[in-house]
Structure 1
Amino acid sequence: MSSLIWLMLLSCSTLVISTKNASDGNTRQGKSIFILAGQSNMAGRGGIHAGVWDGYIPPECQSSPKVLRLNSEHKWEEARPPLHRDIDYLKACGIGPGLAFANSVLQKNISIGDIGLVPCAIGGTQISEWRRGSPLYKQLLSRAHAALHDGGIIRAILWYQGESDTRSQEDAKLYKMRLAKFFTDIRSDMKLPELPVILVALASAEGPYIDEVRKAQLGLDLPNVKCVDAKGMEIGNDGLHLSTEGEVKVGKMMADAFTQFMA
């Protein structure tokens, strides 16, 4: 399906997320679903060299029958890297934090059943492009709706974005307000007002205003939002994207943050 047809279908859809499956019985039986959204460091650029993924899969990102991925056709399949290969398809995708997150969660002493990952991240996007009603926003809602089709519960949104908003001082100043509105709107439209959100504070940037965006991320004052700090993580040769090692570490940090919601 072409991207144009895909967006036309999205714009004609009424996207309402049902939470009937969040009952205790279905929670035990169904999968735990996580929405992966943001830009390239969430989509995964670990192991990308000269525009090509090197194919290396670290132990933390190995596939498992207990970790599924919602593909671009809204079908579940065993999750294998790159998770965003048919979603962020205009760029080469490699290792991201998603599988390291899922495998780390499975190793913890919490009972959440199988894990379903829903890739939605698109490289190079600004927070303004995720506003309510935008194509990216509609795509996220559509994929979240499809993920619930055969049961399960949406456990959290994993968000890693902001590098593109460091290019402009105005965008950096508006980032906190725009991010808070995005989370509030997406929770409202999913009818999950207390949905946990785990976001990443930037390790790198496209422009000079990284400190302003990081301050907004670390200081976001919304309930059920936790921020993990990627500062100091290993960056690849392009100076922007996390290395494979950095992506894995961020995934584990997000898993630790999620565990706090389950305590």
Structure 2
Amino acid sequence: MIHSFLMIGQSNMAGRGYAKEVPLIFDEHIKMLRNGLWQIMSEPINFDRPSSGVGLASSFAASWRKDHQQDEIGLIPCADGGTSLDDWAVGSTLFENALSQARLAQRTSEIKGILWHQGESDCSPEKAEQYQEKFSKIINALRQELNIPEAPLIIGGLGDYLPNGLFGQYFMHYSFVNRELEDFAQSNENCYFVSAKGLTANPDGVHFNAHSQRLLGIRYYCAYRDLKHLPNSNVNENDILNEIYNRPYTKTERLKLLEHEFAVGNIEGKDYLMQLKAIGQE
């Protein structure tokens, strides 16, 4: 049985990190939902925009795999960039899509948790004041509809860099949202808050860069594993990330990566057959 996780929120959950900036994460036992079926994970996992890139879910899943080496994990991508809490209201298109995708996943997996990152679109004192009430309705409805009342919900804080970026004037009150997110996690069962302290952004000053997304995913997993809030960075997160990057590929994984390189035109047919034969003879 696949252990699956629902990914919801806006662009920093979908991921906008530049893939060229970080090593690949590839594991035949990490799956993602595509057209209702499980495929081996590749980034971008959550292709909501042409600018989609590295998100937190890949390192979350890779961290999970370190502790569950005999099991498979599945990611259910439903995040959508630029969306507010109102866009995620019960009955909205995004809410219904998440329900639909999660129900498809439940045919062949068990949903073990919900990963949420959102708030940049609600960075005003007025919207922040209503955040917990609106968010509670969304999460309670999801839990009820999917019959996952005790599945841990992991929510991440907004980056401290937001007021200093290109669009900083729109995020002057980001700390109000962080306060509401943390308060929500503290006051609701099966909910844990993860800080974004120390993480950095792409040049746009809005989206976590690829390395920070990797670290954030590890933080999400540590909160999930320990069922504890993570108000500060995890002191060994870089060590965990290095372990993930240095994990040797299995034979199946090497064959899949070779197949991909041939399919996208990065190697010639003769070289593909030669390498294919070499791997097959090992």
Relative to the length of structure 2, the TM-score reads: 0.74
Q: How does 1:1-263 map to 2 (within 5 A)?
A: 30-47=1-18, 55-56=19-20, 58-59=22-23, 61-71=24-34, 73-85=35-47, 88-89=48-49, 91-108=50-67, 110=68, 113-149=71-107, 151-166=108-123, 168-203=124-159, 205=162, 206-220=170-184, 221-261=187-227
Deviation (angstroms), 1:165: 0.3
Instruction: Return the letter of the residue paired with 2:112.
Output: R
- Which structure has the bigger radius of gyration? 2
Taking the aligned partners of 1:113 and 1:57, their CA distance within structure 2 comes to 29
Taking the aligned partners of 1:56 and 1:111, their CA distance within structure 2 comes to 28
Taking the aligned partners of 2:125 and 2:70, their CA distance within structure 1 comes to 42
SS of residue paired to 2:114: strand
Taking the aligned partners of 1:84 and 1:92, their CA distance within structure 2 comes to 11
Q: Is the contact between residue 32 and residue 112 of structure 1 (CA under 8 Å) also seen in structure 2?
A: no
SS of residue paired to 2:20: coil
User: Which string of whole-angstrom CA distances, capped at 9 and with x for unpartnered residues, describes residues 116-157 of structure 1?
Assistant: 0000000000011111100000000000001122x2210000
Instruction: Return the letter of the residue paired with 2:82.
Output: G
Taking the aligned partners of 1:69 and 1:140, their CA distance within structure 2 comes to 14
Residue ranges of structure 1 left out of the alignment (5+ in a row): 1-29, 48-54
Q: Give the superposed CA RMSD.
A: 1.7
Taking the aligned partners of 1:261 and 1:152, their CA distance within structure 2 comes to 21
Q: Is the contact between residue 44 and residue 84 of structure 1 (CA under 8 Å) also seen in structure 2?
A: yes
Name the structure 2 match of 1:19: none
SS of residue paired to 1:32: strand
Q: Is the contact between residue 21 and residue 211 of structure 2 (CA under 8 Å) also seen in structure 1?
A: no
Higher helix share: 2
Taking the aligned partners of 1:241 and 1:100, their CA distance within structure 2 comes to 17
Deviation (angstroms), 1:58: 2.9
Instruction: Return the letter of the residue paired with 1:107.
Output: K
Instruction: Return the letter of the residue paired with 2:119.
Output: G
Q: Is the contact between residue 192 and residue 227 of structure 2 (CA under 8 Å) also seen in structure 1?
A: no
User: Which string of whole-angstrom CA distances, capped at 9 and with x for unpartnered residues, describes residues 40-93 of structure 1?
Assistant: 01100111xxxxxxx42734x51111000102x2221110001112xx13x410
Taking the aligned partners of 1:187 and 1:67, their CA distance within structure 2 comes to 24
Taking the aligned partners of 1:81 and 1:162, their CA distance within structure 2 comes to 23
Deviation (angstroms), 1:251: 0.3
Taking the aligned partners of 2:197 and 2:204, their CA distance within structure 1 comes to 16
Deviation (angstroms), 1:112: 7.3
Instruction: Return the letter of the residue paired with 2:36.
Output: H
Deviation (angstroms), 1:216: 0.4
SS of residue paired to 1:212: helix
Instruction: Return the letter of the residue paired with 2:53.
Output: G
Matched positions, count: 218
Instruction: Return the letter of the residue paired with 1:93.
Output: S
Instruction: Return the letter of the residue paired with 1:244.
Output: A
Taking the aligned partners of 1:200 and 1:112, their CA distance within structure 2 comes to 28
SS of residue paired to 1:219: helix
Instruction: Return the letter of the residue paired with 1:164.
Output: S
Higher relative CO (Cα under 8 Å, sequence separation at least 6) belongs to: 1
Relative to the length of structure 1, the TM-score reads: 0.79
